[in-house]
Structure 1
Amino acid sequence: MRILKKIFSKSRSLEDGIFFDAIEKILGFTPKDIHHYKKAFTHRSSNRMSSEGKPINYERLEFLGDAMLSSVIAAHLFNKAPDGDEGYLTKMRSKIVSREHLNELGKDLNLIKFIESKVPVNHFGENIHGNIFESLVGAIYLDRGYEYCEKFIQKRVIIPYVDISKLEGKVISYKSLVIEWCQKEKKIFHYDIFEDNGIDGERLFGVKLSIDNKVIAKARATSKKKAEEKASQRAYFAFQEKMDKK
């Protein structure tokens, strides 16, 4: 493997050699084809094209990586939670591969520093971190196959982050909890959304969550989705005792 690395370093630019070393440290093994990993960090704004005229970016790898993550995590949960039914296993997998968690994984590895883009890094949303983590997993699968992909996910996701007992109590969507509870208790709920310019001209969205025609919680955030989630979290804490009852 060291011979492969030396050959690569001599046949490529210094920049590619540095990239090779950095990726090798993250992976914990030597890549065979570094081009998969270069592609994993290529944003569509770079407008790169193959010799066949096809776009070169990480989006297809992101799709593949998402599938690989789900597969490996599903197998792990199947083995570690033998009493869990389909619904339980699905919820647990969703908590592990939630967008929030994938973003954290991407940030922990500082993957954003590798991205090739014509868009300034500070213009990207939070999800860029999770997207390129998934594309990296996809690149590993293409480069070294399922076994190496599984080992990487075990090392970087399952061993440091997956504690089934802690995950059972983790909430990934307060809005889903509120809606599920309202439907179960046959309560009428709705989110009323309005716009607000907020501070220093920053656009904010305000949300009022009503249950049985009574306003239960209000929240503001920079997107409708975030405002709804924040209002739902406040509603959850207001009704936590009732919602947590089996």
Structure 2
Amino acid sequence: MKYIRNILNSRFKRNGNFFMVLTKVLRFKPKHLKFYQTAFTHRSMNIKDKHGNAINYERLEFLGDAMLGAVIASHLYLEVPGGDEGYLTKMRSKVVSREHLNELGKELNLIDLVQSRIPSGQFGDNIHGNLFEALIGAIFLDRGYKYCEKFIYNRVIIPYVDIEKLEGKVISYKSLLIEWCQKEKKTFSYNVYEDTGNDDVRHFSVKLSIDNKVIAKARATSKKKAEEKASKRAFFAFQKKISKML
């Protein structure tokens, strides 16, 4: 374990004073740096402990996700005494959406602390949210639930959790559009095809039709992103009608 710790320490020194940067992000002094070093170690580093177990942020990401969900659930339960299970679940999903977690990770510049053999420019957006969750997991192991809860309140709940605004926030335009179509008994289809174009990166195009009429078109680097983009455009075409479901 000492050997692994030395490897991590030497790597993190290359990015400056890890302790000082981390303390600024946390707003308290960490006790055991090893948890945080693991939270910012990418699997591409291929580091293992003496038992052959991988040392990277993925397990901490799992733990942090659970802790974040628990703290947000507790807050919503206390703040909205009239909210039923379905309402509270929906509201929690809006707070811990992948998009929001990615924004939180970017805001804290967590990507700057990552140790990886892959250039940072090649990472997808989700790494920001993954690191944010891993950081929460590290806080829990280092200082316990109270510090973990305080960090989530200071970084997530106080600045971003506004019940009234959350009620009107859309997590997935595609899911919302499909729900509306089903409720209104409208037919819909996503015609997705690979768009070769002149781009270096493969793109996909989509045509979204409602009641056999093309309502929106979009293009993105994945089928999922293209469908979501087209759904967002369609949403604004029917915004007044769909918004009644929010």
Q: TM-score, normalised by structure 1?
A: 0.91
| Superposed CA RMSD | 1.6
Tell me what 2:203 maps to: 204
**1:201, distance to aligned residue in structure 2 (A):** 3.9
Tell me what 1:4 maps to: none
**How far apart, in 2, do the equivalents of 1:45 and 1:31 lie?**
25
Tell me what 2:46 maps to: 47
SS of the residue aligned with 2:244? Answer: coil
**How far apart, in 1, do the equivalents of 2:203 and 2:44 lie?**
27
**1:212, distance to aligned residue in structure 2 (A):** 2.1
Residue 205 of structure 2 aligns with an amino acid whose one-letter code is: G
Residue 193 of structure 1 aligns with an amino acid whose one-letter code is: V
Name structure 1 gaps, 5 residues minimum.
1-11
**1:105, distance to aligned residue in structure 2 (A):** 0.5
**1:124, distance to aligned residue in structure 2 (A):** 0.3
Count of residue pairs brought into register by the alignment: 235
Most deviating of 110-119 and 86-95: 86-95
Structure 2 CA distance for partners of 1:49 and 1:195, relative to 1, 3 Å: same
SS of the residue aligned with 1:82? Answer: coil
Most deviating of 221-230 and 192-201: 192-201
Percent of residue pairs identical:
69
1:114-193 to 2 correspondences below 5 Å: 114-193=113-192
1:80 equivalent in alignment to 2:97: no
**1:150, distance to aligned residue in structure 2 (A):** 0.1
Question: Alpha-carbon deviations, 1:153-205, whole Å to 9, x = none?
Answer: 00111111111111111111110110111111222211110111234444221
1:1-20 to 2 correspondences below 5 Å: 15=13, 18-20=17-19
SS of the residue aligned with 1:244? Answer: helix
Name structure 2 gaps, 5 residues minimum.
1-8
Tell me what 2:58 maps to: 59
1:99 equivalent in alignment to 2:104: no
SS of the residue aligned with 2:194? Answer: strand
**How far apart, in 2, do the equivalents of 1:160 and 1:168 lie?**
16
Residue 69 of structure 1 aligns with an amino acid whose one-letter code is: L
